[in-house]
A and B are shown apart, each in its own frame.
Chain A
């Protein structure tokens, strides 16, 4: 029997506000435990939350970028449950009126564009972190993360393959980074992902029994974990078995998924409207203000690069994968570089150099203007491609511009006839064998002669000009014969 896979993702994204969602504590990551806490985020008796307007701005911006409808009049609710990392015994979240709903995100897969629905996007507070002693004797809790603003983004069950799931998650990260609302670092937990996966016979409408996959901590593992789980479920079903509803986790070591717990006893969170906060009303002017800050989205930019710069889809994809790379590329073009050449240099030499050193674009010492100048020098014939690559390396290391490097290193290409003619004549005089070979019809001998001239100039001679002079001289010799 043929099966169809159905996947839905629930993604948590930490917003990169300076302060927490309901108090003034800093949100910075990696500090000593319980150093960024106050009466509010530790749930002291009598403390009250005050909504951070910036968190609202960011959530709305993200929701707009995901094409969501914005609920301009919405509210917060309490989700009640007991856990030591939850100081108030409830999480302030949004239940039936999320800030954004009915959006979508597009992915490009196998040359086709696919739309994945976003059911809802809501705002809530993060919980703290528990550290259990190895011997089980006690647990320590760090409340630094408590109250960091969090968005929960829930997809529709529109994802059909594990690869699509990875592309969707990467799409979310790109958009969040484009909107500058989150750094989306899975390893630091600023982006977290849970996945639901089920299989059903092709053509069947209702969903099969699903499992929930938790503890996915890298983009690769989203795909791997789901691939494993897809295969596992297929085998269970093919053998006539039934999939158990359970929560499983991806185990990096074995690259498999392991059962964490079977369907948890139905949890009643007793949601009710948070009485300590007033309703959140985002009026038209405020919404317009936020809308104006939504940047061109990655997918739009990709399409524009193909259209406007005639770049191959691959180039457009790489250049738009990161906001900074696209900006760098466009600045280089704006400084006069030919787009495809700029694309090659940015994707190849620039990113290659930076990646090799574990650096990012912001670390680059070469400015887009400097790169454009270098590309111009190639176009003018001042530098050969090979020379330019050497020059570029020095530029990367020193931050000096191309002209300065060429001058200081004496790397300028020699295209001056008057300088090259005597050199050519000297080479011709010293290599009569090659000259004879050429005159007797061995075209290949020309290459050897060019090589000699290049050698004599330490590679600085313009090969095109040398070629021209040699041909002139040699045809003159042929006539003499």
Chain B
């Protein structure tokens, strides 16, 4: 049975690898690619995932029909190499030639040719016909270490130094999450050695083993490198409990427990104070009745579920990790599920947003939490990770509840009438058949409780008005059905 894919949520190993190695400013990539695989990655998509105008250290071999039909891609790569060399674009750089699905398709393994190029040229086989972007990143990181790195056994540790292994281009919210993890590491008593690859150069790769501890930002990639470095390592945390555990574990490894405990104490009184205040205030009362769904990387799914679900007590009614983990819904199943009904809040990518709009669902609050989808996440103050992340996420949810409430509160109907028009005559209210009432209740139960009162009044009025126009003496199930159908139509 062929494996069908709807609205693919992750890209290939080629993208993951290039989005990883191109962070290093002293690397230049020749992508063995047709024009589109180059321009989509280097500008059309990166413009809107990472808000960068152009990836400047990548050039395509520009595979065309001649290469596909027989000549192979080496002459094209060699040509591009000459152009880059002659125009000085490779000055002070290390050269990497990266394969793509299309170059792999025509069997173009260029490893043996690298000796003919300068700039320490190396071939990275991205295995794009097999691997997704996350594996691509993981493989690229370990490959960088193996090709440009040092020796963990002989490198002396510097106490207190910590690496952060993780963000690359195409990682949702990376700048803010990185900012927060850096803050936590320093708060716990560590000092940052290398942020790899986000803020690194090739020379930094050999310095990686100096760090006493590694922090891996995401569960999806980076662990292979962390293991190879032969130092203890931790995953970056989400939620109150995991973040506190993280700080304590890190401090234990670094021998800075006193400083870390002071930091945690201070955080509770500052960064985290809003969580405590809202917990005690009216906002906290809403958590247990506000449902949440999460479709994002496994890192975010686990982190948000632990924080919003286990810690804040919000019912998490739908989760699906990308890339898929066993038991998760793929987009074919997820789309059906969202069409049938969605939680009050849905964290996700543009795909989930599309499924909500297909279903005419305007009651669910969509919160961007994953790629794909065009979005700017470059502000440092919007983390999902760490202590600051808990505050940001709760603040987002509460403010959207306020927004929802505002939108359903009644507006004096006079504003909707043409000026000077006759006032609407009051009509006597009508009795409701029990079946009609049951139908109304069923429809209302699908709404977030904050909006129920207003919507209920609106629907009751609409049903009674409709019954009046039909000259009925009571509200029947047919009337409710007609009104609900009309409402559905309006929302589409």
A and B are interacting partners:
no
Question: Which positions in A face B, CB cutoff 8 Å?
Answer: none
